[in-house]
Amino acid sequence: MSIQRREFIAAIGTTAAAGLAGCAALGDDGGNGPEISGETLTLTTTTSTYDTGLLDELNAPFEDRYGVTVDTVSLGTGAAIETGRSGDSDVVMVHARSQEDEFMEDGYAINRRDLMFNDFVIIGDADDPAGISGGDDAVDAFAQIAESESTFVSRGDDSGTHTQELEIWGEAGYEDGDFGEWYQEAGQGMGEVIVQTGQSEGYTLSDRGTYLSMINETDLEIHVEGPVEGGPEILSNPYGIFAINPAVHDNVNYDLAMAYIGFITSLEGEEIIREYTVEGEQLFFPEAITEEPNFQQYVPEEWDGSHSD
């Protein structure tokens, strides 16, 4: 479904707003920057940030401070990135670094920042037909699920979770999608997949945040923990945010996008992320501000800064 666009407005205001994301996004006190009050920011994001309720906590103070509206469109990571590729999004928040890097290399993304992290967990029916509970190796757990032909429900939607799931299957020797009928592709968001997994008494890979936000709605249990609880690094789940390049799509609201990035990577934004809990459990861990500089967050991970003539 296409996203209805509003016309881009960039007027010089007599009153400037301040928002920093590594560089100035808005004007200074002299009124030299764009006035953003009354405008709408289109944010496309992964379903986990929406389903957990985190975005409600982040967006409300930003909207109040700047007098703007954040139009949040919840999609899988792949679909969220594609909205930016077509110029239908101003800012994108996702969790699949390989897809983010490709998007930066193609010139569509600009001013990327590390935002936060949580982890993935392998969840499933309490009866645990594949016998994976308590294990500390996600690859072995996937192999046991396949060997036992236990039901596995995949996102199947090119999301960040789906991307990570396929990486684990590849490590387990299933690079070419050599699955049987036990493997079900839902093509749905994480919340729907958790429901479907419960109905089928199977397994799935979930981000911890969405699982915890639904813990009172499902009987599924965590069988393999991620690195937040000492599990394997292959289950790590970092989130990034970036603006859409206005040199590619001149209709995007770049000033408002940078103000948003500046706000949620600020000390205030990090505090909101850190303090957001469900049932007493912290869902996300901020990492935008670190003691040691992290220049790699701004460029594709394999980029080394060298250029050939």
**Backbone φ and ψ of 158, nearest 5°:** 65, 25
Structural domains of the chain ordered from first start: 2-28+37-118+237-308 (3.40.190.10), 120-236 (3.40.190.10)
Average pLDDT over all residues of the chain:
87
Q: How confident is the model at residue 304 (pLDDT cuts 50, 70, 90)?
A: low
**Whole-number percent of the chain with pLDDT over 70:** 86
pTM for this prediction: 0.80
> Is 128 in a helix, a strand, or coil?
coil
Alpha-carbon separation of residue 45 from 11, 31, 179, 219 (angstroms): 27, 32, 29, 27
Element of type H or E holding 264: helix 254-264
Q: CB neighbours of 295 closer than 8 A, spacing ≥ 6?
A: none
1-15, 140-154, 285-299: range with highest mean pLDDT: 140-154
E-state strands within 34-176:
34-35, 40-46, 69-75, 91-94, 109-124, 152-154
Residues 145-175 have pLDDT tens digits of 999 999 999 999 888 899 999 999 999 999 7
Is the pLDDT at 199 greater than 50? The verdict is yes
Pairwise CA distance, residues 255 & 244, whole Å: 11
- Give the model's pLDDT for residue 34: 64
CA-based nearest residue to 48, from 181, 213, 203: 213
- Give the model's pLDDT for residue 176: 66
Single-letter amino acid code for the residue at 33: G
- Residue located via tokens 């379903």: 47
Element of type H or E holding 224: strand 221-224
Mean pLDDT value of segment 17-25: 38
